[in-house]
Each structure stands twice: as C-alpha cells, then as structure tokens.
Chain A
Amino acid sequence: EPEVTQTPSHQVTQMGQEVILRCVPISNHLYFYWYRQILGQKVEFLVSFYNNEISEKSEIFDDQFSVERPDGSNFTLKIRSTKLEDSAMYFCASRERDGYYEQYFGPGTRLTVT
C-alpha cells in the first residue's frame, strides 16, 4: 500500500539554525499538509498546499516557516531560524482529492532544538 514517507526521522539542531524537513507524499495525491505535535499535546495544523501554492496557514506558520514542492515528488517544510519552542514532532500528510478521501500521515520527524 502506498505511504507517505518523511526524512529524517529525528533531527537535532541548534537554536537559530535553519532546518528542512522532507516529505514524499503519495504519488497521485493533490493536497499536502504539515502538522506538528509538541510533546504531550495535540496535533496542530500548520499549513496546507495545493496547486503549488499555500491554501491555508495557521497562526503558528509565521514568516520563519516556508513550504515548497521543488519537484514532482517532494514536499518540504523549512524553518529559517529555529527556536526552542519549535521542538516537536512534525507530520506530513497528503490527500488524493476532494470528496470522500482521507488524509494519510507520514511517520513524522522529531525535531529537537537545543
């Protein structure tokens, strides 16, 4: 069964550094998402992406964050200058199309900012 993949599984970075989290959505899916989950808390929406542009973003997704689909397969989340509070599990998800289709989640990337 097709699945969403994410790399790396764990990233440790120093405060102020840039990080790029990578995702490969399911190949025929059209909608892409990033969510994050701070340890012990609920999963929160960050951003959705469709037709090569951001469709919606949350308050969390400030100017330090950006997303890109650089080619036909990858979907990346960049944090320009990491802060301690960016430490979280980041999940990528994709969805095939409108209608009765669910979002499929990747295994997540655990980001630790020191």
Chain B
Amino acid sequence: AQSVTQPDIHITVSEGASLELRCNYSYGATPYLFWYVQSPGQGLQLLLKYFSGDTLVQGIKGFEAEFKRSQSSFNLRKPSVHWSDAAEYFCAVGSNFGNEKLTFGTGTRLTIIP
C-alpha cells in the first residue's frame, strides 16, 4: 500500500532563512509526487509536482523540490522564507493510472518568526 511520511510535525524558521521540509514515500510503481499548501481554514493549493524527467522541480512562490528515487524522498525547499509562507504543507503521492487517488502525509506546520 502506498504511504507518505512527513517526519516533522512542526517547524519554526526565521524570516529570510532557508527551509527544507522532508517527505518520504512508499509506492510500488513510478510515483507522481506533489506538494500542497494549506493556509488556516483554506483549501489545498498545489505548490509543485513531479511526474518524470528532471528530478529538481520548480513550483510557485519560489519553492522547489528534489525527487530522489534511491532515498524515496521528495523534499521541499525554499532559499528564503517570507512571513506569508506560514501554513500547513502536505506531501502526496499518486500515479498516472486512471483515477487513482492521492495519499497524503500528515503534514508539516510551518511557523515563521520575525
């Protein structure tokens, strides 16, 4: 069965500092990988996705993620965080086969301090 692990429940970083959120997945076939962001009381916004090809993918709001097959990881990074990045971040795995569902991790809550 597919699964996603986000080992960090809560991360606090200073504004302007770099950020890395960890994501490890378990999936039996070639995975499609996603990062979504959720602000309090809001829906899910897609930050970036990996389907194939270049393992370093760029997303919106200055985020990037690197797919490492050997480590079953898809970590999210940002070189310099802004106060508006404070939110909950979810990693998800799926596939390209028809209507297959997404499986989400438990999320990482990001707090930004001035």
Contact = CB atoms under 8 A, between A and B. Distances in A.
A55 B45 CA distance: 25
Contacts of A102: 32, 34, 46, 49
Interface stretch (B11-19, B62-70, B74-82, B92-100): B92-100
A55 B98 contact: yes
Nearest to B95: A98
A68 B45 CA distance: 25
Nearest to B36: A105
A25 interface: no
Contact of B90 (A43, A93, A99, A104): A43
Nearest to B106: A42
Interface residues of B, number: 26
Contacts of A56: 99-101
Shortest beta-carbon contacts, A-B, top 3: A107-B43, A45-B101, A105-B44
Interface of A: 31, 33, 35, 41-45, 48-50, 55-56, 58, 91, 93, 95, 98-108
21 contacts: A31-B98, A33-B101, A35-B102, A41-B106, A42-B106, A48-B99, A50-B98, A50-B99, A55-B99, A56-B99, A56-B100, A91-B43, A98-B98, A100-B52, A102-B46, A103-B94, A105-B43, A105-B44, A106-B43, A107-B43, A108-B43
